[in-house]
Chains A and B, each alone.
Chain A
Amino acid sequence: MYELFFQKLKEKISLTAEEQEIIKGYLTPKKIRKKQYLLQEGDVCKNIAFVEKGALREYTIDEKGTEHIFQFALEGWVISDLYSFMTGEPATYHIDALEDSELVLISKSAQEEILKRVPCYETYTRMQMTGAYLAMQKRITSLISLSLEERYTSFIKQYPDIVQRVPQHMIASYLGLTPETLSRIRKKIASHP
């Protein structure tokens, strides 16, 4: 239920068995089925979700009804509307499950309690935030500086698991392409590997 969560945690910080038990008491295990929402736009995002098993996506829907995927999350990743989580303002993103998933949720109050009782947890959250920032920087750079083809090839190189598990039209949405454009790019790559 928390195996991957603690495995990832221990990659960053060393924990005693006692500290692990303390943290466990503040975690909320939650199963969610495919297509169910973890969060809908307009609600306050009360949790950060760590994916133990499964796949989720975070997205907005524009006025025309088009979905724009901001993030995917597979096993070992974290997903949340961070702005809403931090400020208590309504969420601007939807989060739903692409597969039946098992999550570990951490509420703000639970996180604060963990930080109080297990101070080294701060190192983990800081590293997590830094990681998220760097990923975001990479994503923005890719969107503004790479050609459409390069965007796709760098994505499949970086996230081969997502390509295997997520429908093409969602990958197109994530890359800011129409499904038709993505299809054209894939054909081009297939004919000139």
Chain B
Amino acid sequence: MRTKQTIAVIGATDKMGSAIAKSLSVGNYRLLLYAKDLNTCKQLAAEILSKHLLADAEAMDCSMHASWEADMIIIAAPDSEYKEISVKIREVATQKIVISMADPLLETYNGTITAPENTAPEDLQQLLPHSKVVKAVIDNKRAEVFIAGNDQDAVEMAREMMSVAGYHPILAKNLFIQL
């Protein structure tokens, strides 16, 4: 795609958020970074811009405005914050792809991608009923990402984005699979 896509990263200074923002900065994306601490977010934007000449990144002070401008929204904040985030962005996230990256992957790799009781992405879909929620679970050890969602076009866009970010995307119907 030639047209630059705008991606809002909410929770951009969280471990997962900053990793994905940095990885995406090499692609044809405009990154709008949001985190509760604006200064840390500005530092992240500056770091990204200093590393890649062609990177396009900006710290934003409002998650709603970042999401309003965005074509795609990545939520990298902990799932405990989903409710609060969704209230802010719901109106401007309609019909947009929202990628849930809240890290359900256990730090100590134990053979399952996620705990079966983790329903955060499904909850997010309920909280954002008119958005196209896609789950993306990153296995950093293997540089793989498992992607699942109900909307095929949204899954395909997420797959393309994760490829650009340097991950090997694996489409999964259900993330609660055993490896």
A contact residues vs B (CB 8 Å cutoff): 1, 24-33, 36-43, 105, 107, 109-110
Known contacts A31-B65, A31-B69: does B2 contact A1 (CB below 8 Å)? Answer: no
Known contacts A25-B130, A29-B91: does B4 contact A37 (CB below 8 Å)? Answer: yes
Residues of chain B at interface, number, CB under 8 A: 17
Q: Which residues of A contact B30 (CB under 8 A)?
A: 36
Q: Which of B3, B68, B153 has the most CB of A within 10 A?
A: B3
B95 adjacent to A27 (CB under 8 Å): yes
B contact residues vs A (CB 8 Å cutoff): 1-4, 30, 65, 68-69, 71, 91-92, 94-96, 129-130, 153
Instruction: Say which residue of A1, A30, A36, A38 sits within 8 Å of B91 (CB atoms).
Output: A1
Looking across the interface, which residue of chain A has its beta carbon closest to that of B69?
A31
What's the least CB distance linking B149 to chain A, in Å?
Answer: 15
Instruction: Say which residue of A26, A28, A40 sits within 8 Å of B2 (CB atoms).
Output: A40
Q: Which residues of B contact A31 (CB under 8 A)?
A: 65, 68-69
Q: List 20 A-B contacts (CB under 8 A).
A: A24-B94, A25-B129, A25-B130, A26-B94, A26-B95, A26-B130, A27-B94, A28-B94, A28-B96, A29-B68, A29-B91, A29-B94, A30-B69, A32-B69, A36-B4, A36-B30, A37-B3, A37-B4, A43-B2, A107-B95
Q: Which residues of B contact A32 (CB under 8 A)?
A: 69
What's the least CB distance linking A37 to chain B, in Å?
Answer: 5
* CA–CA, A62 and B30, complex, Å: 27
* CA–CA, A42 and B28, complex, Å: 15
